[in-house]
Structure 1
Amino acid sequence: MQCQLSAHDGREHFGLLNDLGEYGTALWLRWREKTDVDLVVLPDCPVVAPGPDGEGCCLFAGHLEQHTWEHNLEEVSCLS
């Protein structure tokens, strides 16, 4: 599993496990350097790209760094 946050210096990493859809939440794996992996349910990020056809961010609410639509990383996907 790769961290789905944009390049960051943080020691906390997140990988999307499953989108829970109807509840506006997703199941994420969270890990830190040299520690175990946690399973966490986090609310979806509500931010969308500017413009009438704005793409929604595929990360969780309150994440640090860029939204997924602000960079073009192939490994970042709402469906992975």
Structure 2
Amino acid sequence: MQCQLSVHDDGDHYGLLTDAGEYGTALWIRWQERAEVDLVVLSDCPVVATGPDGEGCCLFVGHTELHTWEDTLKEVSCPI
């Protein structure tokens, strides 16, 4: 499983297992390097991007670093 958070070297890693579909929550797998794996239910991140599309963040409340649309922009940008 690959961590869903933007690039980071330490701390917890999270992988989405399934969208619970109820009450704005999802089931996540949480782990640290060389440590046990936990299953955790986390509330969805409520932040929405500005602009006409208003894409919502696909992570959870209180995640570190970037929202999913911010991370995607950096990955797909091309040098001029």
Whether 2:54 is the aligned partner of 1:54: answer yes
Q: In the aligned structure 1, how far is the partner of 2:51 from the partner of 2:24? A: 22
What amino acid sits opposite 2:36 in the alignment?
Answer: D
Partner of 2:36 in structure 1? 36
Superposition TM-score, scaled by structure 1 size: 0.85
Percent of aligned pairs sharing the same letter: 72
Cα distance, 1:21 vs structure 2: 1.7
Cα distance, 1:64 vs structure 2: 0.2
Q: Which runs of 5+ in 1 are unaligned?
A: 75-80
Secondary structure at 1:70 match in 2: helix
How many residues matched? 74
RMSD, matched Cα: 1.5
Superposition TM-score, scaled by structure 2 size: 0.85
Cα distance, 1:34 vs structure 2: 1.5
Q: In the aligned structure 1, how far is the partner of 2:41 from the partner of 2:23? A: 11
Q: In the aligned structure 1, how far is the partner of 2:39 from the partner of 2:63? A: 16
Secondary structure at 2:22 match in 1: helix
Higher-Rg member (1/2): 2
The runs of at least 4 consecutive aligned structure 1 residues that moved more than 2 Å come to none
